[in-house]
Amino acid sequence: MSTEEGFASLAGKCALVTGAGRGIGRAIALELARAGAWVVCNDIDPRTATETAARIHLEGRGAFPYAADVSDSEAVRRMVQDVVAATGRLDILVNNAGIEPSSPILETPDEMWDRTMNVNLKAVFLTSRAAGQVMRAQGGGAIVNVASIAGVRTPLALRAHYCASKAGVYGFTKACALEFAAHNIRVNCVCPGVIITPMTAKARRTPEIMARWQQEIPLGRLGTPEEVARVVRFLASDEAAYVTGQAYFVDGGKAMH
C-alpha cells in the first residue's frame, strides 16, 4: 500500500520516537504520522512532547505524548509497556533523543561523560531491548537509530564524549541488526551532518563556523530536520525491507571521504 505521495504507507503501524519534542525528533514524528503511523512522541520535557502530539492531531493523524527520561531503565520499561497497553503493538522504534554538551577532555567532569553516554548510548540499548522483546513476539519490526557523522568520520573538538557515544550507537546498530535479524527486526542508523535544530543554534550564530561549514559541505548548505526525517521514514518502512545493519549519511556529502 502506498500513500498519496507514492511512498510505502505506515498505516496500522505504531511508532515510538524518542526526543520528539523538538528538532529532528519532531520532524521524524510528523513524517511518520503523515505516512500513516500512530506515533508515540517521547521527550524528557512533557510540554514539548505534548506540542508535537498536538501538531500531529492538527493534521488529523494519531499520536500521544509520553514524557520519560530514556536513560532511565525502569522508565523505559514502563513506557514500552504503556505503549503496547494503549495501542496493542509496537512496530517502529526511532532512537533520536540526544545531548551534546561541550567540554575539553582535560576539564570534562565524570558526570558529563556519564550523562552523555547514558542519554546517547545506554538509552539506545534500553529501548531496543524493551521494544525488541515486543517486536519479537509480534513477528518483526524496524529500529532506526540517530547516530552522527561525528561518531564515525568527522570528530568534533570539545565533544569527545559525544563522538564516543555516537560511535557506540554505530557499533550497537550493527551488532543489534545481527542479533535481531532472526526475529525479523531490521536495525539501521542515520548519521546526520550539520542540521538546523536548537542543538546547532549557538554554532550557527558564529559567522566563522557557518563559513567553514559551507565550505566543508559539498552541497554548500546545512540540512533540515525534514531531510533527516525522510530517510528515517524510508528505513522504517517496508520499502527498506531488505536493508539492515546499515548507516545512512544525511550530511550533504560532508563525510563522504
What are the catalytic residues?
Answer: 162
Query: What angle in degrees, to the nearest 10, is found between the helix axes of 160-180 and 123-138?
Result: 20
The C-alpha cell of 108 is what?
A: 570534562
Binding mask 179-218 for ligand NAP (x = CB under 6 A): -------------x-xx-xxxx------------------
Minimum distance from residue 231 beta carbon to ligand NAP (Å): 12
- 252 belongs to the binding site for ligand NAP (CB under 6 A): no
Minimum distance from residue 164 beta carbon to ligand NAP (Å): 12
Of 8, 15, 19, 235, the one binding ligand NAP (CB under 6 A) is: 19
Alpha-helical segments (H) within the chain: 23-34, 46-58, 73-87, 110-117, 123-138, 149-152, 160-180, 201-204, 207-216, 225-236
The C-alpha cell of 214 is what?
A: 559551507
The C-alpha cell of 55 is what?
A: 501538531
CB atoms within 10 A of CB 223: 21
Of 16, 18, 141, 176, the one binding ligand NAP (CB under 6 A) is: 18
Total residues contacting ligand NAP by CB under 6 A comes to: 30
223 phi and psi, to 5 degrees?
-95, 165
Nearer to ligand NAP, 8 or 44 (CB): 44
Q: Strand 92-95 to strand 63-67: parallel, antiparallel, or no bridges (unpaired)?
A: unpaired
Q: How far apart are the first and last CA of the chain?
A: 37
Residues 218, 181: contact at Cβ < 8 Å?
no
- 25 belongs to the binding site for ligand NAP (CB under 6 A): yes
Minimum distance from residue 203 beta carbon to ligand NAP (Å): 9
Minimum distance from residue 173 beta carbon to ligand NAP (Å): 13
Binding mask 57-96 for ligand NAP (x = CB under 6 A): ------------xxx------------------------x
Of 87, 127, 128, 148, the one binding ligand NAP (CB under 6 A) is: 148
Which residue, among 69, 64, 67, 35, has the nearest Cα to 52 in the 3D structure?
A: 64
Binding site for ligand NAP (CB under 6 A): 18-19, 21-25, 42-45, 48, 69-71, 96-100, 119, 146, 148, 192, 194-195, 197-200
